[in-house]
């Protein structure tokens, strides 16, 4: 059984001080939660502070992006080794905002994913269609391409340990979210492709989570879908009580 996996992507919010306050309160609120994997993804500047505040807890820390080179003349970029040293265990790769605003391609996602794995980080690889692609009935074809090209060269045992986040682009930051049935269909398709391309063991172990306007009032319905293993939470993760509600409502006994 895959335990529920709930990650909060803070995007470009929270200073170091705000991060420490948040994580200290979160650790108190979820101290008795042992059956949900909890991750927060602060900005680069606050990764070390978050990791220190979460020390000796079950709360994990993720970076929001990574560059594929280990070092070099790449002004403004941050390597996987640097992220790992700062205290992160995970890294988000290929978020739709990175694809849409910064031109990231599936080939770039592949390079970043492999760099993260090589450094000992667990990638949270994002996939998902735009509204135009959904309206043209291209959702499953888009997912096939993003998975096949984004995970190109990644071995089955590595796929088993990463997280795939299905994020329909039209549901991110819009207040809209996919229905539970839409999320369930996409997740079932992703799991089928993982089984087909990487084998049953990898498919059964890999977490496939949903992202897109996840809130306390819709998480139970979404995570009740058989192939939905958790959520990548955006705006609702910025408030510690809201994020805690999502975590607690994801617990197996509450679904």
**Residues assigned a catalytic role:** 95, 167
Alpha-carbon distances, residue 236 vs 34, 168, 241 (angstroms): 21, 17, 9
Alpha-carbon distances, residue 136 vs 132, 146, 176 (angstroms): 6, 17, 19
Sign of torsion, CA 221 90 120 59?
negative
The full DSSP string for 36-92 is SEEEEE--GGGHHHHHHHTTTSSEEEEES--BSSSSSS-TT--BHHHHHHHT-SEEE
Contact 94, 109 (CB under 8 A): yes
């Amino acid at each position: 059984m895959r335990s529920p996996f709930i990650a909060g992507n803070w995007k470009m919010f929270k200073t170091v001080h705000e991060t420490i306050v948040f994580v200290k309160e979160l650790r108190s609120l979820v101290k008795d939660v042992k059956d949900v994997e909890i991750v927060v993804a602060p900005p680069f500047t606050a990764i070390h502070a978050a990791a220190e505040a979460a020390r000796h807890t079950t709360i994990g820390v993720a970076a929001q992006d990574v560059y594929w080179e280990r070092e070099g003349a790449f002004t403004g970029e941050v390597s996987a080794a640097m992220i790992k040293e700062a205290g992160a265990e995970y890294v988000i790769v290929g978020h739709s905002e990175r694809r849409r605003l910064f031109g990231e391609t599936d080939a770039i996602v592949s390079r970043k994913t492999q760099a993260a794995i090589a450094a000992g980080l667990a990638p949270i690889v994002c996939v998902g269609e735009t509204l135009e692609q959904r309206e043209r009935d291209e959702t499953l074809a888009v997912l096939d391409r993003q998975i096949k090209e984004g995970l190109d060269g990644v071995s089955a045992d590595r796929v088993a340990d990463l997280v795939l986040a299905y994020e329909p682009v039209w549901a991110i930051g819009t207040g809209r979210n996919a229905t539970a049935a839409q999320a369930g269909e996409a997740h079932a398709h992703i799991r089928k492709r993982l089984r087909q391309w990487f084998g049953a063991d990898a498919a059964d172990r890999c977490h496939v989570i949903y992202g897109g306007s996840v809130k306390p009032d819709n998480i139970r319905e979404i995570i009740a879908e058989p192939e939905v293993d958790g959520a990548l939470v955006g705006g609702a993760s910025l408030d510690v009580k809201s994020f805690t509600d999502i975590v607690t409502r994801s617990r197996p006994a509450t679904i």
